[in-house]
Amino acid sequence: MSSVFDQIISKEIPADIIYETENCLAFRDINPKAPEHILIIPKKPITKLSEAKPEDLQLLGQLMLAVGEVARILHVDEEGFRVIINNGRNAGQTVFHLHLHLLAGRRFDWPGL
Ligand code: AMP
């Protein structure tokens, strides 16, 4: 089933894209929970992390490396940031296309947000 992120990938709907590679896309969250809130997604429509397959190993690594690239673009790599993946209903996942939340620009409690 396609999601709103598929429409962002295909540029059918606009997004504030800050980083793009052949396989990954990063854009600003429309409802930010921190001064900087970026979503990093694979272009491949994996619904959630637990649906990723062994053949997605390289893609998952690319997503992790994209986190660092985005952090450097935002200049938050030194001060720090948080990365969150919500997987499924109990975690509050609302868009069923795998995405990493990169949150930065303030302090984060642990545990909690
Ligand atoms: P999650 O709750 O982990 O599924 O996160 C989904 C995120 O997608 C939420 O933080 C939403 O604010 C964000 N979101 C939904 N639609 C859009 C959109 N069109 N552009 C940017 N972010 C979006």
Give the model confidence (pLDDT) of 49-93 as tens digits: 999 999 999 999 999 999 999 999 999 999 999 999 999 999 999
Which position among 37, 75, 97, 99 bears the catalytic label? 99
Assign 113 a pLDDT band (cuts: 50, 70, 90). confident
Mean confidence (pLDDT) of the chain: 97
Q: Is 92 in the pocket of ligand 1 (CB under 6 A)?
A: yes
Strand order in the sheet with 24-28: 17-20, 24-28, 36-42, 100-104, 81-84
Q: Is 15 in the pocket of ligand 1 (CB under 6 A)?
A: yes
**99 assigned to active site:** yes
Assign 109 a pLDDT band (cuts: 50, 70, 90). very high
Assign 112 a pLDDT band (cuts: 50, 70, 90). confident
Q: Where are the domains of the chain?
A: 4-104
Å from CA of 30 to ligand 1 middle:
6
What DSSP designation does 38 have? E
Q: Torsions phi, psi of 24, nearest 5?
A: -130, 155
Q: Is 93 in the pocket of ligand 1 (CB under 6 A)?
A: yes
Fold (topology level) of 4-104: HIT family, subunit A (3.30.428)
CA 49: distance to chain centroid? 11
| C-alpha dist (Å) from residue 107 to 48, 57, 71, 81 | 27, 31, 15, 8
Say whether pLDDT at 2 is over 90.
no
Q: Is 90 in the pocket of ligand 1 (CB under 6 A)?
A: no
CA distance 25 to 94: 18
Q: Which two tokens stand for residue 108?
A: 């984060």
Q: To test the ligand 1 pocket, which listed residue (48, 84, 95) has its Cβ within 8 A of the most ligand atoms?
A: 95
Assign 9 a pLDDT band (cuts: 50, 70, 90). very high
Neighbouring-strand partners of residue 36: 104
Predicted TM-score (pTM) of the model is 0.98
